[in-house]
Each structure stands twice: as structure tokens, then as C-alpha cells.
Structure 1
């Protein structure tokens, strides 16, 4: 029996490569979509030595906690069913859909100047002119450095209470799906759409998000540390529970990068 795969894992864990965690820590303070309540943690069982006055949990030789949290919380994956009534649910996603060649399109400078920035087809073509054609089946990440935004100002509201966050446009996603046959997308914000497009009176709410999920693609929202990755050459792993009927859930995402 060949041991080449084991040798490959050993190589990945050598100094030739590095792993980059792309996931926000999961807690009540984690950045999340404005319409959701923060994660709630309840201790059910704990070690006797941890007991304090007022604690109601059961003393035991173990620690067990219960978490109450919406599926689309913090860094999370969205399954197609999230915005497509006929789309696949979480347990129907294949394990090979948890790993992709990774492309990172950096528009962090533009977003710093204009938080309403929308990634355009022209941006994608300019990226390809510099770094080469986006490969079929790629995970395309839109880097904005938004993960550095404070969790309590993740929407970056103006004085009138209007949110300002960057996002994708439908023409850009159509190009990536139809012309490049990408596998998935990801971004650092809590929405696919720029805030100025998300909820318009004469259109579907979050139209870009509706489009990408209706194309039987997954997406990952609230990514972090894309600034630690090269534009091309990395591999992303998107892991999440095999939740029956799941529309989305907290994900642990990381990238493998070759050290130069």
C-alpha cells in the first residue's frame, strides 16, 4: 500500500508550507448579521472546583455546555437551500466541496476609501490580466479587510443609521459562474450584497446572495485574515457539520499556503 498521502501530509506540516486560519473565534462577541441575537452559552455540567455562589449547573467529573446560536453566525457556510427553495441542504453537500483552489481578489484599499464598493467584472478581468485566468472550480474570495471592523460597528452605519458595507454585483457573479465555472465564493462581510443594494423596494432582498446560491454554489461569509494570503496558489478548506436539512452553519475555514 502506498504511503504517498501520508508523505504529503508530512510535507504540508513542514516549514515549506503554512496554515492560515480564516475563521473568527465563536463567542457572543463574534461579528454577525445585525438581525441575529448573539450566541448564548449555558453550562450544564462542570467540575466541582468551579462551583461559585449562584451557579445552578450540576457538579460532575466533566464539563458540558449548551449553545444557542443561529446557523448563519460568525464565519459560516451557506448551503444553496438558504436562498433557493429547491436547493441542496447541508447534508447533501459533498465532502469534495470542502476543498478548493483559492483565488483572493484584493480591493481593501478601494473599500477603505469607499465602504460601498462593489466588486465588478472589470475588477475580475484586471485581476486575471495580472495573475492569470481563474481556474474552474475555484473558491473566489473578495478581500476587503472588513474583518478588522469592530463587531459593534460591522455595518458601519452613518449618522442617519444607514449601513455601508462592500459586496458583489450580480454581473460579476454571473461572469464567475457562467464564464469561469467557479465552485464557491467568500467574503469578510455578513452579506453578499453591498448594503446599498441589499434591500431595494423593487427587487429581491439580497439579490446577489440569492443568485449565487440559486446556482448550486456554496458561499462563506464573515471570513478573516484574507490579507495573509497570496492572490493565487493557496488551497482553502471549508469544514462544517453534516446537518440534516441545514441551511447554513458555523464553519472552520483555513488555507494552506506554500512558503516562498
Structure 2
């Protein structure tokens, strides 16, 4: 039996880069609290419960040496991962506990549409936008997470601005139906990440098909992650993203901690 090598390996080099500051961990997760903006479906549809904590004990008679809480929340609250089983087109696909871990770690591809979204909150990413990006940066890598920066994370503490409702519905940026179909069927990405409350645009219920990001991506065994923060701290290419949902058996989604590793 041979002894393990004492030469530095990949893990040791990674730890050294983190300790030395050559590799930075960027938290892409929105703080999860009762004030987090949540999707509001119109009647007659039923909404999930919002996030809340129920205190059970706090160094008192019910628990003199500890503090702990019950968590009350819907699956699709805060920064969360959508599994294929969430949507009718993926109903026989993986639940959130069955997503292969290798597909939760991959290259981060960041596309910046913040200027467009600032001018038009209903801005939609089309295949041509992504193809133009590929012409400059190279093809979308296999297993990549496509992260759309729209500047919407700046509204995280203002639910009204974040959801941007008026008499005609919600106005937040996203991808077109054609783009959703193309990403799902013609690209090797693992998933789509957005800063908004859902992976579809705010008014996507009126698209054909309705909510095409859900329809096409989840129907093609790809995933979504929402309410991302701090995408401005990531380069267009070269970072690695780690998406960590809870392993909820039968879950259609899960709150998640999303981290990016960035060379500095």
C-alpha cells in the first residue's frame, strides 16, 4: 500500500489561495427574513406562506441553555432553486433532492443587462444578445450557470420597487420565450440565475407559452435560481458558482446559499 503524497494537491492549493486572498468567495445570496420580496399570484391562485421564525426558547424555561426557532416558509421564498418537478413540463423530472450535485457546481457566466433594464423594466434578453456575448467571450461552457445581471438586486429592501406592480401587472426584466426555448434546447447550461423574484420576466404570464423560462428550462432538466445579489462583483467569465439547496425529498424548490469563487 502506498502512502499519500505529501506534495501540495488541488485541495491544498485551493485552501492556500483562499487564505492568501488570491481566491475570493462572493456571497450571491439575499438575506432571508420576513421582509424578503415574494411572488404574489393573483386570484384564484394560492400563494405560498412568507418566511417567518417562531421562537421556541431563548435561554429561558423552555430551553435554559439554548436558543432555537421553528422555520415557517414556502419552498420558493428568497434566494431559491427551482427543480424540474416544479413545472408541469418537468413534473416527472428530478425533485430538489435529486438534482445531481455535479450540476450544482460549475462555471459562472455573467451577462450584464443592467443598463437596458434601467431604461426598460420589461427588457427581455433574446438569443441574439447571448450570441453577441458569445462572439466576444466564447461559447457557453458545458454545465455553466448563466447569471443575468440586471441591477435588480438594488431593490431587495423595497418590495414595492422590487416587484414593480401597476394596473397592468409586474414589470421586471427577464428572458423572452424564444430565448428560453433556445437556452433549454440548444445550449449546455445547467441553469439560469436571476436577481428578480422568479426566473421569468414579471409579465411572462402573458407570453406564449406562459412563463417560458419555467416551461422550457425545467422541462429540459435545467434549473433556476432567483433573488441573486452581488453579481457586479463577478467577472463575465472565470468564476465558479456553487448552488446549495436543502435536500428536501419531494421538494419542488428550496431556499439556497449561492456562492461564487473569484480569482483576484
SS of 2:189's equivalent in the other structure is coil
Q: Which residue of 1 aligns with 2:66?
A: 62
Separation in 2 of the partners of 1:42 and 1:132? 49
Q: Which residue of 2 aligns with 1:197?
A: 204
Structure 1 gaps of 5+ residues are 49-56
Q: Which residue of 2 aligns with 1:77?
A: 81
Tell me if structure 2 keeps the 8 A contact 1:142–1:188: yes
Separation in 2 of the partners of 1:137 and 1:238? 13
Separation in 1 of the partners of 2:118 and 2:209? 28
| Residue from 148, 162, 166 that aligns with 1:154 | 162
Separation in 1 of the partners of 2:55 and 2:104? 32
Separation in 2 of the partners of 1:137 and 1:145? 25
Aligned ranges for residues 20-59 of structure 1 at < 5 Å?
Answer: 20-34=26-40, 35-48=47-60, 58-59=62-63
Q: Which residue of 2 aligns with 1:172?
A: 179
SS of 1:29's equivalent in the other structure is coil
SS of 1:43's equivalent in the other structure is strand
> Is residue 2:130 matched to residue 1:124?
yes
SS of 1:140's equivalent in the other structure is strand
Regions of 4+ moved over 3 Å: none
> Is residue 2:248 matched to residue 1:243?
yes
My pick for the range that moved more, 160-169 or 173-182, is 173-182
SS of 2:247's equivalent in the other structure is coil
Aligned pairs, number: 248
| 1:195-254 deviation digits (Å, cap 9, x = unpaired) | 232245xx5542221211010011101111111111111000000111111110100001
How far off is 1:161 after superposition? 5.7
SS of 1:28's equivalent in the other structure is coil
Aligned ranges for residues 205-244 of structure 1 at < 5 Å?
Answer: 205-244=210-249
How far off is 1:143 after superposition? 0.8
> Is residue 2:142 matched to residue 1:136?
yes
Supply the RMSD in Å over aligned alpha carbons.
1.7
| 1:142-163 deviation digits (Å, cap 9, x = unpaired) | 11011111223321123x3621
Separation in 1 of the partners of 2:247 and 2:200? 27
Change in CA separation of 1:191 and 1:199 when aligned onto 2, cut-off 3 Å: farther
Tell me if structure 2 keeps the 8 A contact 1:191–1:209: no
SS of 1:60's equivalent in the other structure is strand
Tell me if structure 1 keeps the 8 A contact 2:183–2:217: no
SS of 1:30's equivalent in the other structure is coil
How far off is 1:94 after superposition? 1.5
